Amino acid sequence: MAASSVTAEAAVRLAKTDIWVLDVEAFGRYSYQNNVPFLARNFGTFGIHLGYDLFDGGLKRAVKGEREAQLAQAKENPARLRDEVELAVHTGYNKLERTQEMLKVSEEVVALRSESNRVLQQELLQGAALKSQAAMATAQEYDAKGSSSHSWTIRRRTTSSFMRWASRPNDAFASIAVPDL
């Protein structure tokens, strides 16, 4: 159980007890006088004063309700935090899967553009294609390779972000299922 939850439970117990407990005061006093002839020169008083508020305007019950609300919030916080972390891990995993799919598509586009460039270079040598078509095919191949490089960069960044969330060494989040990469 979290420390904040234990503290909140103690505060609720104290607020419940405070409703019925009397206000107790102990006092003591010593006096010395020399000028009044009918009183003793040295005397002391001591005692206990018990008090109870019959009507406090609901203050103690309001404090009890506030403490119970704080206890409910302290018990809810770990569950909310766990849900947030679990959502972040699953979002990161989904993003990682999406970038891996994007990387596969990018590699297929590079293979397609390379083959298209090779075919157009062959046709250019045979005179069946124009130089502008061959140059366009070469440019498209380089563009596809650049996109593939960009996809690899995004995948690396996404993987490191996912691993940062998935490898947190906290026992409270050990039950979150982290998929294998």
| Helical axes 131-166 vs 59-126, angle rounded to 10° | 150
H helices of the chain, where?
3-20, 59-126, 131-166
Give CA–CA dist 140/114, Å, rounded: 9
Are 107 and 116 in contact, with CB atoms under 8 Å apart?
no
**Which stretches of the chain score pLDDT less than 70?**
1-2, 165-166, 168-181
**Amino acid 181: pLDDT:** 47
Q: Note the pLDDT of residue 139.
A: 92
- Could you give all domains of the chain from N- to C-terminal order, each with its CATH number? 3-173 (1.20.1600.10)
Q: How many CB atoms lie within 10 A of CB 33?
A: 10
Note the pLDDT of residue 172. 46
Q: CA-to-CA distance for 32 and 127, rounded, in angstroms?
A: 128
